Amino acid sequence: EGRETRLRVVLRVRPLTCTETRRGDQQVVHSLGDGAVHVSAARHDATFGFSAVFDAGASQEAVFEGSGMRQLVELAIDGFSCTVFAFGQTGSGKTYTLMGPLAQSETQPASPALLGLMQRSFTCLLEQSRSRGSDLALSASYLEIYNEQVRDLLSPGPPCALPLRWSKTRGFYVENQLSVEFESLEAIVSLLLQGSQRRRTSAHALNRHSSRSHALLTIHIRGRAVSAHPAPGEGWGGSACPSKQGSLCFVDLAGSERVKETGSSGELSVEANSINRSLLALGHCISLLAKPRGKRTHIPYRDSKLTRLLARSLGGSGITLMVACISPSSRCLSETLSTLHYASRARRVTTRP
Ligand code: ADP
Ligand code: MG
């Protein structure tokens, strides 16, 4: 608490897709074990290190257990602001890692083995809250940033833009966002599904269900440590135990992409440009934050809505896990290298939880 803590960065390499295999793409990314990964292609030969590397064979469960996600859930229950964000090129497996293959199977539910970090965290959260015997009040909010507008994915009706404000006590926050209470796994999973269906997606060359927005699902955890033996004269759940307020935020970033590769034009290229602009702002903040604290200059969080909303997770009092996702294919080499450099830089970023 209060000490500098590094961002935890893990890497996930997805398997080659059928299309990639069929057209004979070379696999250029190889896991070396112990958190090391090697990229070898024509003119490139580089090794990168992370807290953990999950290769094509890694199951969803292995990613949950090996990434430190379980500990993050526990820290959120203890009152910390925790964030996990998935980052990488379009089609690299961000949504798959966070939610599993939801979109492809709307008629039949996904197999439990394929559930992503989010559903696994919800289960863990609800189990912990039961076993600790403390009564936790849980609620969820779900937002997307689409073309630099913040929209509520849980409120009914057509999406409308919500104002993003700043206050001394709260930092950046979204005004009037809906927060829905839940007590069961079914309830929170159904909120996730409802919200995800309202999310802005478009089909393009690299991914049939490509997310065109950044989505942030936040679980708010309010705990009251109810004392078993209240002191005489002290009310039930008296002032002896201040209430803890933690949060757990899942960020599914829209993919970085180059407009010419995705065949985007018109409205799609407007989207792509605003996605790229906010990812660039995020990258810029991360580079500056990666410098030692004494040498840091002003961090331009205000450059985009995304960086404002992530300010606390990146440079403030949050605890953050970053899951960098890449494709192993030779065709994705330049985006893969850029994700790897970005992720390596993020490992030097520290916060003070
Ligand atoms: P992104 O959200 O980064 O754009 P997706 O998560 O939608 O990418 O993944 C793109 C495609 O690759 C999807 O069809 C998804 O099912 C598949 N995929 C991604 N990661 C894996 C994985 N680890 N194992 C199997 N299939 C995967
Ligand atoms: Mg996605």
Q: Which residues of 253-283 are buried (b: 16+ CB within 10 A; e: fewer)?
A: bbbbbeeebbebeeebeebbebbbebbebbb
CA of 241 to the centre of ligand 2 (A): 41
pLDDT at position 212:
76
Dist CA 313 CA 317 (whole Å): 7
- Which range has the worst mean pLDDT, 50-54, 107-111, 186-190? 107-111
Record the tokens describing residue 18, joined without a space.
Answer: 């059928």
Record the tokens describing residue 148, joined without a space.
Answer: 């630099």
pLDDT at position 260:
47
Q: Which domains does the chain have, with CATH numbers?
A: 5-103+112-224+243-291+298-351 (3.40.850.10)
pLDDT digits (tens, 9 = 90+) for 287-305: 888 888 788 888 999 999 9
How many helices and strands in the chain, by DSSP H and E? 10, 19
The larger pLDDT score, comparing residue 68 to residue 148, is at 68
Instruction: State the average pLDDT over residues 75-84.
Output: 93
User: Is the C-beta atom of 210 inside 6 A of ligand 1?
Assistant: yes
- Single-letter code of the amino acid located at 166: W
Dist CA 58 CA 339 (whole Å): 20
Please check the confidence at residue 266 and state whether its pLDDT lies above 60. Answer: yes
Which positions ≥6 away from 271 have C-beta within 8 Å? 146, 147, 200, 202, 212, 264
- Which range has the worst mean pLDDT, 97-111, 220-234, 235-249? 220-234
pLDDT at position 104:
47
Which positions ≥6 away from 126 have C-beta within 8 Å? 138, 184, 185
Strand partners, 131: none
User: Is the C-beta atom of 94 inside 6 A of ligand 1?
Assistant: yes
pLDDT digits (tens, 9 = 90+) for 136-187: 899 999 999 988 899 999 998 887 899 999 998 888 999 999 999 999 999 9
pLDDT above 70 covers what percent of the chain?
84
pLDDT at position 105:
47
pLDDT at position 295:
82
Please indicate if the annotation marks 5 as binding a ligand.
Answer: no
Please check the confidence at residue 237 and state whether its pLDDT lies above 50. Answer: no
Please check the confidence at residue 108 and state whether its pLDDT lies above 50. Answer: yes
CA of 212 to the centre of ligand 2 (A): 8
Which positions ≥6 away from 305 have C-beta within 8 Å? 145, 148, 149, 150, 164, 278
Residue nearest to atom 17 of ligand 1 (CA): 93
| Beta strands in the chain, from DSSP E residues, in sequence order | 5-6, 8-13, 29-33, 36-41, 44-49, 52-54, 81-88, 135-146, 149-152, 161-162, 164-167, 171-174, 180-181, 201-204, 207-211, 214-224, 244-252, 319-326, 350-351
pLDDT at position 75:
94
